[in-house]
Amino acid sequence: MTTTYSDIVNEILINMAGYTMQQDRATSLSSAVTTTTTTTISVSSTSDIGKGIVEIGEELLWVENFDRVANTLTVAPWCRGYLGTTPSTAATSSKVTISPTFPRSVIKRAINDTIRAMGASIFAVKQTTFTFNPAVTTYELDNLNIQNNVISTSHKYNVKKLMFFASSCIYSKNCSMPIQEQDLLTGELEKSNEFYAIANIVTGKQIGRAHV
Confidence check: pLDDT of 90 > 70 = yes
Decide: pTM greater than 0.85: no
Residue 60, exposed/middle/buried by CB under 10 A (0-12, 13-18, 19+)? buried
Instruction: Among 20-34, 35-49, 121-135, name the one with the lowest average pLDDT.
Output: 121-135
Q: What is the pLDDT of residue 211?
A: 47
Report in angstroms the alpha-carbon separations of 182 from 1, 18, 199.
43, 63, 18
Axis crossing angle, helix 143-156 with helix 194-211, rounded to the nearest 10: 20
What is the average pLDDT score of the chain?
A: 80
1 pLDDT exceeds 60? no
Maximum CA extent, the chain: 82
Residues paired with residue 61 on neighbouring β-strands, in sequence order? 54
Residue 31 has pLDDT above 90, yes or no: yes
Show me where the domains of the chain are located. 25-100, 143-211
pLDDT of residue 116: 73
**Percentage of the residues of the chain whose pLDDT score is greater than 70:** 74
Coil, strand or helix at 27: strand
Q: What is the pLDDT of residue 137?
A: 57
b or e along 173-207 (b: 16 or more beta carbons within 10 Å of the residue's beta carbon)?
Answer: eebeeeeeeeebeeeebbebbebbbbbbbebbeeb
- pLDDT for 176 beyond 90: no
Task: Quote the CA–CA distance of 158 and 207 in Å, as a whole number.
Answer: 14
pLDDT of 212 > 50? The answer is no
**Pick from 159, 155, 185, 154: nearest CA to 172:** 185
Q: What is the pLDDT of residue 136?
A: 63
